[in-house]
Chain A
Amino acid sequence: MRKFLAIIVCKLGRFVGRLVGKGSSMPGKFALKICPDILARVQLPPHIIAVTGSNGKTSTVEMIAAILRADGKNVVYNEEGSNQIEGVTTLVLTHATLGGKVKADVLLIESDERYAAHSFKFFHPTEFVVTNLYRDQLTRNGHPEWVYDAILPAIHPETELILNADDPLSSCFANGHSSVRWFGLDRCSLSTDAPTGVYHDGAYCPVCRAPMEYDYVHYNHIGAYRCTRCGHAKPATDYTATAVDLENGTLTIDGTVTIQLAFRSIYNVYNILAAYAACRRAGAAPEKIAGVINNYILKNGRMQKFTLGQHHGTLLTSKHENSIAYDTNLRYVASTKADCAVLIIVDAVSRKYFTSETSWLWDIDFDQLNVPQVKKIVLSGRYCNDLAERFSFTAIAPSVWSVQPDIAAAAAALKEDGSEDLYVVTCFSDRDKLLAHVVKEG
């Protein structure tokens, strides 16, 4: 009876919530009040795929949904990004019959890494994808090992783990776990011989703290690691990017499947690889997956093209407090050939209030912008002084970078001057403050 009531309340709440434009976690919250173990009482689909990790969750989940739907499967997932237990409850109950059977072939969940253990208390994923674990939003996450410890209790012995073989930390989830599938990237044209970046989280083994060695690295400390003492090392991969050519935008998986990359970044390669692995485990054929990804356009709008005066602009959305997201976008700028200007905006680290926490700026490798084609760098937003202090420790000539606290003024000055390409590096929370001054392109 409580189950029935919880489902009714949730469905009603969702209906009313949609009418008044309210978020998707409240109905689930009510349902959990009525029946705290409701998620254990419903009949879930045969595949429950969860995705967590520091970076790439949303992109990976969106790709998995598009692929499996094209493969004829009925997929439900938390498109609104309510990825804590209340949102998951709303998702499940909204798609359930009044008898509690979820009408879908696949339940797909983007799971908040800190709350995964809570979300999966009453049921567990059949496949659990962990994209990676590294420094991300340390003001809420503490540090990567803290997040690792938070995810660990969410992993059920019967769940099949789909792990990134190239990440020395999240690969540790395989220790003592029976069912694991690995995705990873072979040595390719992008690889370097040693870790890159300002800090070296991969310098020491996450298991035994002995120094680690690398055969090759794709970015930061993501690559082929090998502990000098305990044997923790990149495992053999089940789903492998065997060749990547970012210049021509092609990715080859397992030597046979060729994919055209709409967005030519190393991140996108890993997201595709994670989605590919999950979809193969859910029964999709390689050609089907490649066909969908070739025609797939990222919906999340992290790359927005625009014009500002004579400048052709590209907005590269990085998450503040995520140094690897910044590093990857800076690497993209450095890989371009034409003369360009770069505008970096840090205006609101938190949307709610001012926080003094800008130590994450010191984790970003801004020296990547020390290349001849970057002619001008403008630092803007409320934290422009903190950015400038960080820049004063780079090798970039002081004549190249300047500071303009006011975002509108920075945009106006750029509009008046020059026609070089413009890259804007900032966060979701700050991007609209710039987009208000430009002409967006489709």
Chain B
Amino acid sequence: MELKIIHFYPDLMSLYGSYANVSVLRRYLEALGNTVTVETVAPGQEADLSQADFLYMGAGTERSQKAALADFIRFGGAVKAAAEAGTAMLFAGTAMELLGKSVTDAGGKVYDGIGLAGFTSVQGKKRFVEDVYGKTDLYPQAVVGFMNKCGIVKGLETPLLTSLSMGYGNDGTGTPEGFHWKNVFASQLTGPILVKNPRLLEVVAAAIYQQRGETLPAERPVDRWAEEGYAITAEQLSLRCQNKSLSVN
């Protein structure tokens, strides 16, 4: 297949190695025999989302996020239509907050989000910085990552990580994290999340295939380094979870 990825604001929204989510997805899709093009969109630039197989925006500082939002708002209708139609997309870090109803900055100023979902985000002066170990309903293995954010997300009904045994979620310690609806994926976990979680990379690729009426082939490429890196991370974080619960008991 010829697949098209649209990467919004790669320079503006580039914290925590965000670009690598696109790098691993592209390589994975290419290894499956597809031709993949990545179109980048800078503020003010036009883009036709109707032909896209995957939309992506990475993490940015709180100020960059507002600058991105000021531009991204014009794509709001098109993004919602694409989401409704089943287009796969991932919004990482502070980009996730743009999907909601509003984002309130640390000074109390409220910005309208694109309203794809009904949640709201409120940023503060405290930063939540810690490892995260959790579960998703999408597959049995754990999801690993690192949280680095200052926003609290409320009113989110369909999280990506349905439970956390360690770390800060949407609305506090141990609360669910991220957002998942149809083929829309969003998470504030760094890692980058698709690099750190090979299973989630497969799920996202499967969503892209599904939208084209295809399923992922049974024979799939294995990324040895990503798999081994994941295994060590999952084991170590799981051990820390167990130690924590032992010390609580």
Q: Could you tell me which A residues sit within 8 Å of B by CB distance?
A: 138-140, 142-146, 198-201, 203-204, 206, 209, 353-363, 382-383, 385-386, 388-389, 392-393, 403
Which one of B46-54, B80-88, B191-199, B209-217 contacts A? B191-199
Which residues of A sit under 8 angstroms from B12, Cβ to Cβ? 203-204, 209
Which residues of B sit under 8 angstroms from A355, Cβ to Cβ? 131, 146
Given B19, B127, B240, which contacts A142 in the complex, CB threshold below 8 Å?
B127
CB pair A389 B225 closer than 8 Å:
yes
Q: Give the Cβ gap from B225 to chain A, nearest Cβ, in Å.
A: 4
- Closest A residue to B127 by beta carbon equals A142
Which residues of B sit under 8 angstroms from A359, Cβ to Cβ? 16-17, 20, 146, 190-192
Q: Give the Cβ gap from B77 to chain A, nearest Cβ, in Å.
A: 23
CB pair B67 A360 closer than 8 Å:
no
Q: Is B61 an interface residue (CB 8 A)?
A: yes
CB pair B15 A357 closer than 8 Å:
no
CB pair A385 B225 closer than 8 Å:
yes
CB pair B226 A389 closer than 8 Å:
yes
CB pair A362 B19 closer than 8 Å:
yes
CB pair B225 A388 closer than 8 Å:
yes
Q: Give the Cβ gap from A337 to chain B, nearest Cβ, in Å.
A: 31
CB pair A362 B232 closer than 8 Å:
no
Q: What 1/0 flags go to B134-154 for Cβ under 8 Å of A?
A: 000000000011101010000
27 interchain pairs, CB-CB under 8 A? A139-B146, A140-B129, A142-B129, A145-B62, A146-B150, A200-B11, A203-B11, A204-B11, A209-B64, A354-B236, A354-B240, A356-B146, A356-B191, A358-B191, A359-B16, A359-B20, A359-B146, A359-B190, A360-B17, A362-B16, A362-B17, A385-B225, A385-B226, A385-B232, A388-B229, A389-B223, A393-B27
Q: Is B237 an interface residue (CB 8 A)?
A: yes
CB pair B63 A357 closer than 8 Å:
no
Interface size on B, residues (CB 8 A): 39
In the assembled complex, the Cα of A389 lies from the Cα of B197 at a distance in Å of 12
Q: Give the Cβ gap from A14 to chain B, nearest Cβ, in Å.
A: 33
8 A Cβ contacts from B13-62 to A:
14-17, 19-20, 23, 27, 61-62
Which residues of A sit under 8 angstroms from B240, Cβ to Cβ? 353-354
CB pair B16 A138 closer than 8 Å:
yes
Q: Give the Cβ gap from A320 to chain B, nearest Cβ, in Å.
A: 14
Which residues of B sit under 8 angstroms from A138, Cβ to Cβ? 15-16, 148
Which residues of B sit under 8 angstroms from A203, Cβ to Cβ? 11-12
Which residues of B sit under 8 angstroms from A200, Cβ to Cβ? 11, 14
CB pair B145 A143 closer than 8 Å:
no
Which residues of B sit under 8 angstroms from A356, Cβ to Cβ? 131-132, 144-146, 191, 196, 233, 236-237
Q: Is B228 an interface residue (CB 8 A)?
A: yes
In the assembled complex, the Cα of A327 lies from the Cα of B221 at a distance in Å of 31
Which residues of B sit under 8 angstroms from A198, Cβ to Cβ? 19
Q: Give the Cβ gap from B10 to chain A, nearest Cβ, in Å.
A: 9
In the assembled complex, the Cα of A200 lies from the Cα of B16 at a distance in Å of 12
- Closest A residue to B20 by beta carbon equals A362
Q: Which 10 A-B pairs have the closest CB atoms?
A: A362-B17, A385-B229, A354-B236, A357-B146, A209-B67, A389-B225, A359-B17, A203-B11, A388-B225, A385-B228
CB pair B11 A362 closer than 8 Å:
no
Which residues of B sit under 8 angstroms from A201, Cβ to Cβ? 14
Given B14, B63, B131, which contacts A209 in the complex, CB threshold below 8 Å?
B63
In the assembled complex, the Cα of A198 lies from the Cα of B17 at a distance in Å of 9
Q: Give the Cβ gap from B243 to chain A, nearest Cβ, in Å.
A: 10
Which residues of B sit under 8 angstroms from A209, Cβ to Cβ? 12, 63-64, 67
In the assembled complex, the Cα of A357 lies from the Cα of B191 at a distance in Å of 6
- Closest B residue to A363 by beta carbon equals B17
CB pair B225 A146 closer than 8 Å:
no
- Closest B residue to A393 by beta carbon equals B23
Q: Most chain-B Cβ atoms within 10 A of its Cβ — which of A140, A146, A198, A403?
A: A146
In the assembled complex, the Cα of A361 lies from the Cα of B67 at a distance in Å of 26
Given B67, B229, B237, which contacts A354 in the complex, CB threshold below 8 Å?
B237
CB pair A386 B229 closer than 8 Å:
yes
In the assembled complex, the Cα of A392 lies from the Cα of B62 at a distance in Å of 31
Which residues of A sit under 8 angstroms from B195, Cβ to Cβ? 362, 389
Q: Give the Cβ gap from A10 to chain B, nearest Cβ, in Å.
A: 31
In the assembled complex, the Cα of A28 lies from the Cα of B40 at a distance in Å of 53
CB pair A199 B14 closer than 8 Å:
yes
- Closest B residue to A386 by beta carbon equals B229
Which residues of B sit under 8 angstroms from A403, Cβ to Cβ? 225
8 A Cβ contacts from B143-172 to A:
144-146, 148, 150
Which residues of A sit under 8 angstroms from B146, Cβ to Cβ? 139, 355-357, 359
CB pair B17 A361 closer than 8 Å:
yes
Known: A353-B240, A359-B190. A392 touches B17 (CB 8 A): no
CB pair A362 B192 closer than 8 Å:
yes
- Closest A residue to B167 by beta carbon equals A356
In the assembled complex, the Cα of A140 lies from the Cα of B130 at a distance in Å of 9
